[in-house]
Amino acid sequence: MRQFHTFAPVYDASSRVLILGSFPSVRSREEGFYYGHPRNRFWQVISEVLAEPLPLTIPEKRELLLKNRIALWDVCSSCEITGSSDATISNVVPNDLSPLLTTAKISLICTNGRTADKLYRNFVRNIDIPERCLPSTSPANAAWTVDRLISEWNIIKEVICDDQHQF
């Protein structure tokens, strides 16, 4: 069954890093915001990388991202998906990233996991911004501990602290 992304990206003119997921989980779609499943480690990893308190509410999550010059969105605007399984994503209609990229001076695009990276590479064209695939924060990626995730995701802090960062 076709599902539609129903909530807006998080960004403003000061955003420097764009994090792209694949498509919201069932729980995220129910909550109307990103990484809503309590076992997804996204908010824990981001708060640790940024040395910020763990955000609990949607306004706190949005504030954490914007305060730290991070934009957040998903590659898919709509797709066919079974439950929350990225492995079942098909018939993708990608989000148009151009409004975000016109507003913000993004210096790095990070994809949250291999599926988001594959979707980004398959469906997004003509963007001359460095891109980095980061290990998924999904609980399905059990091989990666929180500490290992934080180590890899630290690239975000490096970029927001140094807009001239070279890749």
Residue 46 is assigned to a structural domain of this protein: yes
Residues spanned by the domain of 88:
2-161
Residue from 37, 46, 95 nearest 69 by CA: 46
CA atoms within 13 A on the CB side of 6: 11
* Euclidean distance between CA atoms 30 and 23, whole angstroms: 13
- Is 6 domain-assigned? yes
Average per-residue pLDDT for the chain:
94
Question: Is residue 100, in this structure, part of any structural domain at all?
Answer: yes
Reported pTM: 0.94
pLDDT tens digits, residue range 34-84? 999 999 999 999 999 999 999 999 999 999 999 999 999 999 999 999 999
135-166 pLDDT tens trace: 999 988 989 999 999 999 999 998 888 754 44
Q: How many helices (H) and strands (E) does the chain have?
A: 7, 7
CATH number for the domain including 142? Answer: 3.40.470.10
Domain count, the chain: 1
Tell me whether residue 71 is in a domain.
yes
In a domain, 69, yes or no: yes
The reply to whether 167 falls in a domain is no
Structure tokens at 152: 């890899």
Taking alpha carbons only, the member of 105, 107, 117, 13 closest to residue 74 is 117
